[in-house]
Amino acid sequence: MNVPASETGIHKRVVLAEADIDRALTRIAHEILEANKGPRDLVLLGIPRRGFPLAQRLAQKIAAVDPSVDADLITGQLDVTLYRDDLQRNPTRSPLATQLPPSGIDDKVVVLVDDVLYSGRTIRAALDALADLGRPRIVRLAVLVDRGHRELPIRADHVGKNLPTSSRERVRVHLAEIDLIGGSAVNEVVIEDRA
Amino acid sequence: MTTNTSTLPEYLIVGASIAGGAPQDLLVRDGVLAAVGPSAAADASAAAITIDAEGLVALPGMVDLHTHLREPGREDAETVETGSRAAALGGFTAVHAMANSSPVADTAGVVEQVYRLGLASGWVEVRPVGAVTVGLGGERLAELGAMAESRASVRVFSDDGVCVSDPVLMRRALEYVKAFDGVVAQHAQEPRLTEGAQMNEGDVSAVLGLTGWPAVAEESIIARDVLLAQHVGSRLHVCHVSTAGSVEIIRWAKARGIDVTAEVTPHHLLLTDELVRSYDPVYKVNPPLRTSDDVHALRAALADGTIDVVGTDHAPHPSEHKECEWAQAAMGMTGLETALSVVQHTMVETGLLDWEGFARVTSVAPARIGRLAHQGRPLATGEPANLILVDPAARWTVDPATMATKGRNSPFRGLELPGSVRATFYGGHPTVLDGRLATPRPAAGPATAQEAPAWSI
Amino acid sequence: MKHLLSTQDLSARNALRLLDVAEEMSAVGEREIKKLPALRGRTVVNLFFEDSTRTRISFEAAAKRLSADVINFAAKGSSVSKGESLKDTAQTLEAMSADAVVIRHPASGAPARLAASGWIDAAVVNAGDGTHEHPTQALLDAFTLRRHWARIGGGPSAGTTLAGMKVLIVGDVLHSRVARSNVWLLTTLGAEVLLAGPPTLLPIGVGSWPCTVYYNLDDALAQRPDAVMMLRLQAERMNAAFFPSTREYSRRWGFDDGRLALLDTMGLHDTVIMHPGPMNRGLEISSAAADSPRSTVLAQVRNGVSVRMAALYLLLSGDHHDEQDGEMHDELPATTPEGRIK
């Protein structure tokens, strides 16, 4: 938000600009292909809301590298709301749609995609949700930002940027597909600190 | 037992506004108003207790034609003692105890029992109402004459709670009570039109899915009864009139010279059926709360004399009869301790009645209908000292838990109302002083002896 | 939302949210593994003072699919006064730490009473109270209608309203909790509602409802409704002089084969026929109508589980302390001529 810190008491600094995000995603796309030795059986499942556009972008980058890949056919969305362990602690959340690619996930290499990896609880929920939907051969995790402070034994396979943060800070990812700021679509990662 | 009348305390009430008039002094001595006006202070003995009544309105003690005291039979709901305490606190000096006790007050024995309980309690005059039909069964006339001639000298007869719906029986009752100047007080409710009825039939019942109690069920009985009263030349009293249509019929009947009187309850002067949307049975009452239009019509009718009196229909219930689903809940509301305030709020503060008019509808007219010669009298020298002192400027918030009645079912709970009863004098004895219960009037004594028989008008 | 007591006090926002969540629940219902852990450790009590196997099973399936523990409490026919038993039963359930009470009761307002009484802390879900409301039935009807409307329009169901839709409700409106809940909910969602039935079975006061009333079913059908909802005729009405005979009722207000054919003649190819069940075949609806491709009866039953899952999830999953239900009571009417009593 383009609000001076003096008015809100919030300090914010941009840690990844649009070009940084793009570079990180390109690198992750290559890593995914490398780890999988090609695009075979790959399924990218984004965790709403911002994991889904990231999964779409990654799929497009993979398709750009390997023209045999149809980005739409390997991308899906995995909602984890109904599997969260913190439902009672927060105001009621409405579940969002889960959409799997036509090939399904059985025996696939599923890459979960999320914007920020923090406590690890969302990924724990995603693994449970995944188990109710099918049985992938391998599950990997790709995140744009890993800010630390894990509460579960979970780690990402592919990380756009490791960001050491204090727990007081908030990491906000803005993606053009979802976020309009001041009327224009923005791609950036910012850290907000309530001073 | 001999009692020297001069040992009774004397009270000099200083500076009370009689029914809203200029401040005057009143001297209460030996059960009567010994002096009213400038001479009162001069006449007072040195031992007279002075009551500063500056800012207070003096009114004749209120007379309720419609009280459920529940005794005998439902002493868990109310007793003559608790109900008459509530009455005294509410500014009443006489109440009519409805006949739907258990056993029903349909014999001289039961009405005398209630009458004696009232005398023993001593907080207000308790006049039993006799049942019209045996056991309120609507089939055979009760022994109306025996009740009239009993020590309770019953003049008001009612099957209240149940309508005397059989037209022949109603005609006979109206005719029969002429023999002793009685009156039949009808609970106007056509039974077939109100089978399973839960609330006023209209917009709200349609939404709530509660069986409707249509206005026509009341109005059709009133129309029939005023015509019957005209035909046999009797006097008819209509209990708890609740609809604008009923008002029109009574207005028409009075214009034709039919001897009909009518009553409205405080709750029907204030509350509407919108309250039922809560499904809180504290608002369940019979006849039901009606619409805002009905409330306005009732107020106008009370102001112009079409409706003669306010009757509380005080109906205490034990909590388990209200802490349940609407359909299972008992009908009725308490009212003795809120009546004055509700009538002040709805009639006096709206400018519809002055205090003179207030006295007419709460005391003079009900005493006349019940043939209580010594109640509802002017506050003048030589008259019986049944009077109350009211602080019209007081505001208070209704809290059923602090009431003297056993019933906690006040629909006015939480409401801020004007007017508080500071003192009640019953036969010259202060039953309420400083807004709190004082002492009951002694059961035996000269004051009782001085009480005129009810039929000696 | 703390309770689900009626559709009359359900805001458009909350109604749409319920339907949208029900869409997600419905998707789960199509998976091989239909269970979700969302309400693990929570206890749902089905408190039925009236027999209704269909509704109870639907709620039970909904709660179980969300992993809640379900206790079925059939409280019918107690010899103590019903009032005592409601309060005492409620306090028993409270002592058993029920998180939600799904209540079916023959007395209108019993769920509202339970929710407001302070006898119990649990969320209260009205599963049908007397002749008042049956909100989950109306929600499943709205869900069914919305899917149908979206299919015709060629768009997704989630997020859309019923704007532009014309729904005709036929029969015993006076005694129908289904009709009441539907009138409020469907109009809240933007549909136009028409009522048709014998004047004896339409409530006094229906004139203030947001719908058009017809005494003649064929006049109402001439308005070209997109859906016709037939109400069940309760057996006890048949002997209470509300109408001369079931034959006459059926002829005037039943959805018979002739009226089914009329829909085709009128070119109303997309008009669906609904019934909350159980049906009196041959009375308010003919077998041909009930079994025709227009009939949504089975879809309604299926959607019932999704809608009830959504209701239980929204009532039980979150922390409701910070939630604002402000828009639920926009304009409350005066309770005395001077205004409202608080």
The predicted pLDDT at position A194 comes to 76
- Distance, in angstroms, between C272 CA and closest chain A CA? 27
B374 marked as binding residue: no
Is residue B253 over pLDDT 70?
yes
| Nearest one of B174, B175, B99, B194 to B137, comparing CA atoms | B99
Separation of alpha carbons C309 and C44, rounded Å: 12
Q: What crossing angle do the helices spanning C53-65 and C135-153 adopt, rounded to 10°?
A: 70
**Which of C108, C335, C342 is closest, CB to CB, to B271?**
C335
Q: Are chains A and B touching, using the cut-off of 8 Å on CB pairs and a minimum of 3 such pairs?
A: no
- Distance, in angstroms, between C1 CA and closest chain A CA? 9
Closest C-chain CA to A88:
C318
- Identity of residue C42: R
The angle subtended at Cα B92 by Cα B91 and Cα B95, nearest 5°, is 160
Separation of alpha carbons B38 and C121, rounded Å: 65
Q: What is the DSSP letter of C184?
A: H
Quick one: residue A45, left, alpha or beta (phi over 0 = left, psi -120 to 50 = alpha)? beta
The predicted pLDDT at position B1 comes to 39
Per-residue pLDDT tens digits for B24-65? 999 999 999 999 999 999 999 999 999 999 999 999 999 999
Contact A92 C20 (CB under 8 A): no
* Residue B167 and residue B140 in contact, taking contact as beta carbons nearer than 8 Å: no
Is residue C323 over pLDDT 70?
no
Separation of alpha carbons A194 and B133, rounded Å: 81
Mean pLDDT of chain C: 90
- Identity of residue C165: M
Phi, psi for residue B178 in degrees, rounded to 5: -60, -30
Contact A88 C320 (CB under 8 A): no
CA atoms within 13 A on the CB side of B42: 4
Is residue A2 over pLDDT 60?
no
- Joined together, the tokens standing for residue C282 give 């041959």
Which sequence spans correspond to the domains of chain A? Answer: 19-168
The answer to whether C35 faces chain A, any CB pair under 8 Å, is: yes
How many percent of chain C have pLDDT more than 70? 91
pLDDT bin (cut points 50, 70, 90) of residue C73 is confident
- Distance, in angstroms, between A88 CA and closest chain C CA? 5
Give the chains touching A; criterion: ≥3 Cβ pairs < 8 Å.
C
Contact A87 C33 (CB under 8 A): no
The predicted pLDDT at position C77 comes to 56
Per-residue pLDDT tens digits for C175-186? 999 999 999 999
With 0-12 / 13-18 / 19 or more C-beta atoms within 10 angstroms meaning exposed / middle / buried, residue C268 is middle
B187 marked as binding residue: yes
Query: How many angstroms separate the Cα of B407 from the Cα of each of B65, B85, B99?
Result: 19, 13, 18
Neighbours of C294 (CB within 10 A): 20
Please tell me the CATH superfamily of domain B61-369, with its number.
Answer: Metal-dependent hydrolases (3.20.20.140)
Strands (E), C152-271: 166-170, 192-196, 211-214, 227-230
Q: What is the mean pLDDT of residues B127-153?
A: 97
pLDDT bin (cut points 50, 70, 90) of residue B4 is very low
Give the 3-state secondary structure percentages of chain A, helix then strand then coil, rounded to 5.
30, 30, 40
Instruction: Pick from A77, A81, A82, A83 the residue to mutate for testing the C interface (most C CBs within 10 Å).
Output: A82
Give the chains touching B; criterion: ≥3 Cβ pairs < 8 Å.
C
Residues of C in contact with B292 (CB under 8 A): 334, 336-337
**Which of A79, A87, A133 is closest, CB to CB, to C317?**
A87
* Residue B334 and residue B314 in contact, taking contact as beta carbons nearer than 8 Å: yes
- Distance, in angstroms, between C202 CA and closest chain B CA? 9
Is residue A118 over pLDDT 80?
yes
Is residue B450 over pLDDT 50?
no
**Which of B203, B270, B326 is closest, CB to CB, to C109?**
B326
Q: What is the mean pLDDT of residues B63-86?
A: 97
Lowest mean pLDDT among B371-380, C45-54, C104-113, C182-191: C45-54
Residues of A in contact with C322 (CB under 8 A): 91
CA atoms within 13 A on the CB side of A6: 0
How many percent of chain C have pLDDT more than 90? 77
Mean pLDDT of chain B: 94
Per-residue pLDDT tens digits for A86-116? 888 888 889 999 999 999 999 999 999 999 9
The answer to whether C150 faces chain A, any CB pair under 8 Å, is: no
| Catalytic site positions of B | 313
Domains of chain C: 3-134+304-317 (3.40.50.1370), 135-299 (3.40.50.1370)
**Which of C105, C177, C208 is closest, CB to CB, to B325?**
C105
Instruction: Pick from B199, B271, B279 the residue to mutate for testing the C interface (most C CBs within 10 Å).
Output: B279
Torsion of CA B11, B16, B18, B23, to 10 degrees: 130
The angle subtended at Cα B387 by Cα B385 and Cα B388, nearest 5°, is 150
The predicted pLDDT at position A9 comes to 73
Per-residue pLDDT tens digits for C265-316? 999 999 999 999 899 999 999 999 999 999 999 999 999 999 999 999 999 9
Residues of B in contact with C204 (CB under 8 A): 201-202, 205-206, 212, 214
The predicted pLDDT at position C81 comes to 44
The predicted pLDDT at position C321 comes to 53
The predicted pLDDT at position A185 comes to 86
The answer to whether B318 faces chain C, any CB pair under 8 Å, is: no
* Residue A128 and residue A83 in contact, taking contact as beta carbons nearer than 8 Å: yes
Is residue A149 over pLDDT 50?
yes
Does the pTM exceed 0.80? yes
- Distance, in angstroms, between B329 CA and closest chain C CA? 7
The answer to whether C256 faces chain B, any CB pair under 8 Å, is: no
Per-residue pLDDT tens digits for B154-184? 999 999 999 999 999 999 999 999 999 999 9
Q: What is the mean pLDDT of residues B251-276?
A: 98
Query: How many angstroms separate the Cα of B26 from the Cα of each of B7, B36, B48, B374, C20?
Result: 19, 4, 12, 18, 75
Judge if the upstream peptide bond of residue B287 is cis by omega within 30 degrees of 0.
yes
Phi, psi for residue C159 in degrees, rounded to 5: 85, -10
pLDDT bin (cut points 50, 70, 90) of residue C85 is confident
Per-residue pLDDT tens digits for B83-129? 999 999 999 999 999 999 999 999 999 999 999 999 999 999 999 99
The predicted pLDDT at position C325 comes to 44
Closest A-chain CA to C23:
A97
ipTM value greater than 0.85: yes
Q: Which residues contact A152 (CB under 8 A, 6 or more apart)?
A: A119, A120, A121, A123, A124
- Joined together, the tokens standing for residue A137 give 């051969």
Q: What crossing angle do the helices spanning C110-117 and C82-95 adopt, rounded to 10°?
A: 50
Q: What is the mean pLDDT of residues C206-221?
A: 97
Separation of alpha carbons A153 and A160, rounded Å: 20
- Joined together, the tokens standing for residue B155 give 């003049």
The predicted pLDDT at position B185 comes to 98
Q: What is the DSSP letter of A90?
A: S
How many residue pairs from chains B and C have C-beta atoms closer than 8 A? 112
Lowest mean pLDDT among A41-55, B101-115, C325-339: C325-339
The answer to whether C30 faces chain A, any CB pair under 8 Å, is: no
Q: What is the mean pLDDT of residues B1-29?
A: 83
* Residue B94 and residue B367 in contact, taking contact as beta carbons nearer than 8 Å: yes
The predicted pLDDT at position C337 comes to 61
- Joined together, the tokens standing for residue B125 give 């005059």
The predicted pLDDT at position A4 comes to 52
Element (H, E) at B172: helix B167-176
Residues of C in contact with A92 (CB under 8 A): 1, 313-314, 317-320, 323
**Which of A94, A98, A132 is closest, CB to CB, to C27?**
A98
Contact A88 C158 (CB under 8 A): no
Separation of alpha carbons C300 and C54, rounded Å: 12
Judge if the upstream peptide bond of residue C278 is cis by omega within 30 degrees of 0.
yes
Per-residue pLDDT tens digits for B190-237? 999 999 999 999 999 999 999 999 999 999 999 999 999 999 999 999
Contact C320 A92 (CB under 8 A): yes
Query: What is the bridge-based pairing of β-strands B57-60 and B387-397?
Result: antiparallel
Please report where in the chains the tokens 């400038």 appear, as a residue.
B38
Which sequence spans correspond to the domains of chain B? Answer: 5-58+382-456, 61-369
With 0-12 / 13-18 / 19 or more C-beta atoms within 10 angstroms meaning exposed / middle / buried, residue B424 is buried
* Residue C143 and residue C303 in contact, taking contact as beta carbons nearer than 8 Å: yes
Phi, psi for residue C28 in degrees, rounded to 5: -65, -35
The predicted pLDDT at position C336 comes to 64
Q: Which CATH class is domain A19-168?
A: alpha beta
Please report where in the chains the tokens 């919108």 appear, as a residue.
B274
Separation of alpha carbons A192 and A176, rounded Å: 19
Per-residue pLDDT tens digits for B301-319? 999 999 999 999 999 999 9
Q: Are chains C and A touching, using the cut-off of 8 Å on CB pairs and a minimum of 3 such pairs?
A: yes
* Residue C7 and residue C127 in contact, taking contact as beta carbons nearer than 8 Å: no
Give the chains touching C; criterion: ≥3 Cβ pairs < 8 Å.
A, B
- Joined together, the tokens standing for residue A177 give 């597909």
Residues of C in contact with A95 (CB under 8 A): 21, 24-25, 313
List the alpha helices (DSSP H) in B178-322: 203-208, 215-232, 244-255, 266-270, 292-304
The predicted pLDDT at position B448 comes to 44
Contact C205 B204 (CB under 8 A): yes
Q: What is the DSSP letter of C231?
A: P
Q: Using beta carbons and an 8 Å cutoff, which residues of A are at the interface with C?
A: 79, 81-83, 87-98, 128, 132-133
Residues in chain B: 457
Contact B325 C83 (CB under 8 A): yes
Domain B5-58+382-456 belongs to what architecture? Roll (2.30)
Contact C116 B328 (CB under 8 A): no
